[in-house]
Amino acid sequence: MTMKKYLLACLSAGLFLASCSTSKNTVGGDDGRLSLQLIQINDVYEIAPLNGGKEGGMARVASLKKTYLKQNPNTLLLMAGDFVSPSVYNSLKFEGKSIRGRQMIEAMNAAGVDLAVFGNHEFDIKEAELLERINESKFDWISSNTFHNIKGRSLPFTRLEKNVDVPFPVSLVKTFTDADGTTVKVGFIGLTLPFNKSAYVSYTDVFTTARDLYNSLKDSVDAVVAITHQSMEDDERLAREVPGLAAILGGHEHDQRYAQVGKTIITKAMANAKSAYIINLTIVKWNHRVRVRTQLEPINEMVAIDSSTNVVVQRWVSIAEKSYASLGFDAKKVVLTQGEPLDGRESEIRSRPTNLTIKIVEAMAKAAPLADVAILNAGSVRVDDVLNMPVTQYDIIRTLPFGGSIREVDMKGSLLIKILSQGVLNKGIGGYLHSNSIAKFADDQILWKLRDQPIDPNKSYRVAMSDFLLTGGESNLDYLTPANKDILKVYEVITAASDPRSDIRKAIISYLENY
């Protein structure tokens, strides 16, 4: 054998032995391979089941986690944002204080949520209220690009633990070990779209932050997972800009999404825990590979209700029913006995009128008879459900959990045209606008009409709208505020409980009861 062949043979043997030393141990020890399961839910506003008790509910989520935990002790339950708000409970009080998501935190604690990230709606509530909810939580939070703005300083949000303020990490590394002794480390980052501009929150750029954190983690962990709350478009961009991510578990859209960009899997479950994504990560240490498999799990009558979590849920349901009465609502009272089911699914109402949204704007017009047109932003409707007959006052309350008054303004026709046109362009998001049947877009003439007459840009029109719209807080409608020069008059806020304009939900209930 020549020296060259001898060296090659030795090198080959050495590589083989090295491979054997790090590959699967056939004798029975550490096999260098570990599988973990991530159960993902997102955008959950209801703790109790929906659709007549057939879908969702945090007690079913708890049962689902227990089932998967029995199969694999390396199982985590993750919440990808939007859970403290909006909620039917957010306008209610208990023990002299606004509930503001307290019911959801208690339900999540009971269900065994392990990890959560902020959604944009977490910042709908007051700063002190959110800090209370955080301190009540028993799960971990990650906040990579979202910070607490304290007197102009961007600091981590904190949770009080044993009288010590513990800051939220910008990334979190969790260690997992299986039965044969394989140990892996997984890095998690949590990203939130900078949509909500509450004064007490500040943001860093999502993509720069993600890239920097991934680079700081990648050499010390076996996989990096991003939990996000942003648009699917931005999740796909994130996958392109940080291609090493094993998976992106996202929220924000409510209609269930899946995509693969390069090797990165992107998942979003159905809102209100009507489904969960099960993400299985199999990490092979000897070749540094990660295999990702996903399974969509419907959360329906086939999933048992966990009894201990259900105790928490039912306690809050009882509290809510008593609180509704104090606001002048009879939650169990039927307001509509017959007719087609009312479609409030977000996949529908954010892109077209449905029989539910038509009735809402008709009710607004009835409550404000002097208005030329009534306008509602789809994002005000949060029920994400089909309301079957009979419809109760509770159904109306959960349809519009924000409540709020019906505001009226006089505005120039040019501004009205601009608003209605932007409402069409907002198709697919909460800024999609619904208006009563007298407002139509005439495609053949490319103009807007009221009562079959073109809207005159120079004429003044009286417009009724949901109060949130007049704050400028809706997507692409930031100019819709009382300060706009084309808003000629802002009418006083109606507060008298006897006037249906004082609460849009009372306007709808009154309308349906006389329908």
Dump pLDDT digits (tens) for 140-198: 999 999 999 999 999 999 999 999 999 999 999 999 999 999 999 999 999 999 988 89
Q: What residues form DSSP beta bridges with 188?
A: 172, 225
Report the distance separating Cα 167 and Cα 42, nearest Å.
23
Question: Do 280 and 35 touch, CB atoms closer than 8 A?
Answer: yes
151 Cβ contact list (under 8 Å, min separation 6): none
The 10s digit of each residue's pLDDT in 369-427 is: 999 999 999 999 988 778 889 999 989 998 998 889 999 999 999 999 999 999 999 99
What pLDDT, on a 0 to 100 scale, did the predictor assign at position 19? 34
The arithmetic mean of pLDDT across residues 297-320, rounded, is 97
What pLDDT, on a 0 to 100 scale, did the predictor assign at position 15? 32
What pLDDT, on a 0 to 100 scale, did the predictor assign at position 150? 97
314-319 — which CB contacts under 8 Å span 24+ positions? 316/47, 316/89, 316/103, 316/106, 316/107, 317/47, 317/48, 319/92, 319/94, 319/99, 319/103
Report the distance separating Cα 431 and Cα 440, nearest Å.
17
Q: Mean pLDDT score of the chain, rounded to an integer?
A: 91
The 10s digit of each residue's pLDDT in 110-121 is: 999 999 999 999
Here the tokens at position 454 are 């073109």
What pLDDT, on a 0 to 100 scale, did the predictor assign at position 446? 67
Give whichever of 80-89, 200-209, 392-401, 443-452 has the largest mean pLDDT: 200-209
With bands split at pLDDT 50, 70 and 90, how would you rate the model's confidence at 6? very low
> What percentage of the chain exceeds 70 in pLDDT?
93
* Per-residue pLDDT at 497 exceeds 50: yes
With bands split at pLDDT 50, 70 and 90, how would you rate the model's confidence at 297? very high
Which amino acid would we find at residue 507? A
CATH architecture label of 329-513: Alpha-Beta Complex (3.90)
Strands 391-392, 334-336: parallel, antiparallel or unpaired by DSSP? antiparallel
CA–centroid distance for 190 within its chain: 14
Helix (H) or strand (E) segment spanning residue 7: helix 3-22
With bands split at pLDDT 50, 70 and 90, how would you rate the model's confidence at 10? very low
CATH number belonging to the domain at 27-307, selected among 3.30.210.10, 3.60.21.10, 3.40.640.10, 2.60.120.10 = 3.60.21.10
Instruction: For residue 478, give the DSSP letter.
Output: T
With bands split at pLDDT 50, 70 and 90, how would you rate the model's confidence at 87? confident
With bands split at pLDDT 50, 70 and 90, how would you rate the model's confidence at 455? very high
What is the four-CA torsion angle of 502, 493, 413, 357, rounded to 10 degrees? -20
The 10s digit of each residue's pLDDT in 38-78 is: 999 999 999 999 877 899 999 999 999 999 999 999 999 99
The 10s digit of each residue's pLDDT in 126-148 is: 999 999 999 999 999 999 999 99
The arithmetic mean of pLDDT across residues 2-14, rounded, is 38
What pLDDT, on a 0 to 100 scale, did the predictor assign at position 442? 63
Here the tokens at position 3 are 């020296």
5 vs 392, residue with greater confidence: 392
What pLDDT, on a 0 to 100 scale, did the predictor assign at position 144? 98
Which amino acid would we find at residue 172? L
SS3 (DSSP) at 33: strand
What pLDDT, on a 0 to 100 scale, did the predictor assign at position 327? 83
* Per-residue pLDDT at 91 exceeds 70: yes
- Give residue limits of the domains in the chain: 27-307, 329-513
Dihedral sign (CA 489, 470, 405, 360): positive
Report the distance separating Cα 381 and Cα 391, nearest Å.
16
Exposed e or buried b per residue across 293-302, where buried means at least 16 C-beta atoms within 10 angstroms of its C-beta: ebeebebeee
CA–centroid distance for 245 within its chain: 22
CA–centroid distance for 410 within its chain: 34
What pLDDT, on a 0 to 100 scale, did the predictor assign at position 449? 87
Fold agreement between 27-307 and 329-513: no
Across the chain, how many H-helices and E-strands are there?
Answer: 12, 31
* Per-residue pLDDT at 440 exceeds 90: no
What pLDDT, on a 0 to 100 scale, did the predictor assign at position 7? 34
* Per-residue pLDDT at 486 exceeds 50: yes
441 vs 345, residue with greater confidence: 345
The 10s digit of each residue's pLDDT in 210-248 is: 999 999 999 999 999 999 999 999 999 999 999 999 999
pTM of the model: 0.79
